[in-house]
């Protein structure tokens, strides 16, 4: 069972990795066979290496700056639901709903995001 603090630490790590674009920071978040799915963009990255490559391909999204506000909505066993709002100076505002399933080591095994431009 994942704790609220583990979820908070993981999301902070996610924000750090999105900020740094560091392969090491991204790797720290995901298990080797993790899945990363995003709607409506039909993103289906399977395996940590595919997640890293896909993530790094989105570096231009950050041009001009961005910020992210978030909160934990619920935790059920090994899965957390997280609500967030991303504000990108170049892209606009996006409302996010994430579900993140964790392994026993606190790494994400399945990440699902519904990402809707406001």
How far apart are alpha carbons 63 and 81 in whole angstroms?
28
The model's pTM is 0.93
Closest by CA to 51, choosing from 7, 18, 79, is 18
Question: For each of the chain's 118 residues, which pLDDT tens digit applies?
Answer: 999 999 999 999 999 998 898 999 999 999 999 999 999 988 999 999 999 999 999 887 777 788 999 999 999 999 999 999 999 888 899 999 999 999 999 999 999 999 998 8
The CATH number that applies at residue 96 is 3.10.450.50
Instruction: Write out the DSSP string of 31-93.
Output: EEEEEEEEETTTEEEESHHHHHHHHHHTGGGGTT-EEEEEEEEEEETTEEEEEEEEEETTTEE
Count structural domains, the chain: 1
Domain that holds residue 56: 4-117
Strands 30-39 and 43-46: antiparallel
């Amino acid at each position: 069972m994942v704790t609220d603090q583990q979820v908070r630490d993981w999301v902070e790590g996610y924000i750090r990795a999105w900020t740094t674009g560091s392969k090491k920071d991204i790797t720290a978040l995901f298990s080797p066979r993790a899945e990363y799915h995003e709607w409506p963009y039909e993103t289906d990255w399977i395996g940590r290496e595919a997640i890293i490559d896909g993530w790094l391909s989105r570096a231009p999204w950050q041009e001009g700056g961005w910020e992210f506000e978030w909160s934990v909505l619920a935790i059920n066993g090994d899965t957390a639901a997280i609500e967030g709002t991303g504000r990108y100076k170049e892209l606009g505002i996006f409302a996010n709903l994430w579900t993140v399933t964790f392994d026993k080591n606190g790494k994400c095994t399945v990440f699902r995001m519904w990402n809707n431009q406001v």
